[in-house]
Amino acid sequence: MKTEISIEFFPPQTPEGLEKLRSTRKTLAKLNPTFFSVTYGAGGSTRERTFAVVKEIAAEGFDAAPHLSCIGSTRESIREILNEYKAAGIKRTVALRGDLPSGMAETGEFRYANELVEFIRAETGDWFSIEVAAYPEWHPQAKSPKDDLQAFARKMNAGANSAITQYFFNADAYFHFVEEASALGIVAPIIPGIMPIAGFTKLARFSDACGTDIPRWMRKKFESYGDDTDSIRAFGLDVVTELCERLLKGGAPGLHFYSMNQAALTTEICQRLD
């Protein structure tokens, strides 16, 4: 049976970036993903750019899933966006709490992602297939693992269809999270988020900020390569491919790739997975 995959992009800031993304998308389309998702900046800062990329993806005949974050937003502004997407025939969205833009103190009319999911359902019924975020290694702002798991359950019970996880490198964390969610009665698919590794310095910094654990053995191995980008890339491909193999063998319902608007690594991993 073919493994279902989905692939995430961010909306580029420049015409050159947009052109490069078109080329990346053309390459990744050969993998026949279930959908392409497009991120949404803090407080809706990339709203127009996100919508432009989503419309292009839909026009190319692919299922597009715009991210939608609610923090700092009003019900009216979210309603307007949902109506725009409905009018464009978009049937899927990734509903997130999101981050407040720097310097903004007010959270707006929504505090949590479950409130956004409830609002989408109240406004649009079953029009959208709604994905939400999951954190196998727990959200960095969560008071405790139990609190985080309950917040996840609230999102699913509010009407989400499935979840996409933050990326991780420890398969056991994913399996443990799925087990705990299942014990709370959550049966919807929880799709592991996969981060292909292009370089180590940025990855380490980003992982530390978002609460993703890089196992010590991996960290030490990457550090030992110094500036040897070929060795970092080769080791990264091995590590991530093995992770994907273990996840799929353990029953993961698919894979969601954080492409960083690049095609080569995601393509290589999928080819290795056959």
Q: Which residues are catalytic?
A: 8
| H or E, element range at 17 | helix 15-28
Work out the end-to-end distance of the chain between its first and last CA atoms, rounded to an integer number of angstroms.
11
- Pick from 157, 156, 135: nearest CA to 146: 135
3-state secondary structure of 19: helix
Q: Which amino acid is at 153?
A: A
Show the beta-strand stretches assigned E in 73-230. Answer: 92-96, 129-134, 162-167, 190-194
Burial (CB < 10 A; 0-12, 13-18, 19+), residue 30, is: exposed
170/136 Cα distance (integer angstroms)? 9
**Distant-in-sequence, close-in-space partners of 103: CB < 8 Å, separation ≥ 6:** none
| Residue-wise burial string across 98-117, b where 16 or more C-beta atoms lie within 10 A, e elsewhere | bebeeeeeeebbbebbbbbb
Torsion of CA 86, 90, 92, 94, to 10 degrees: -80
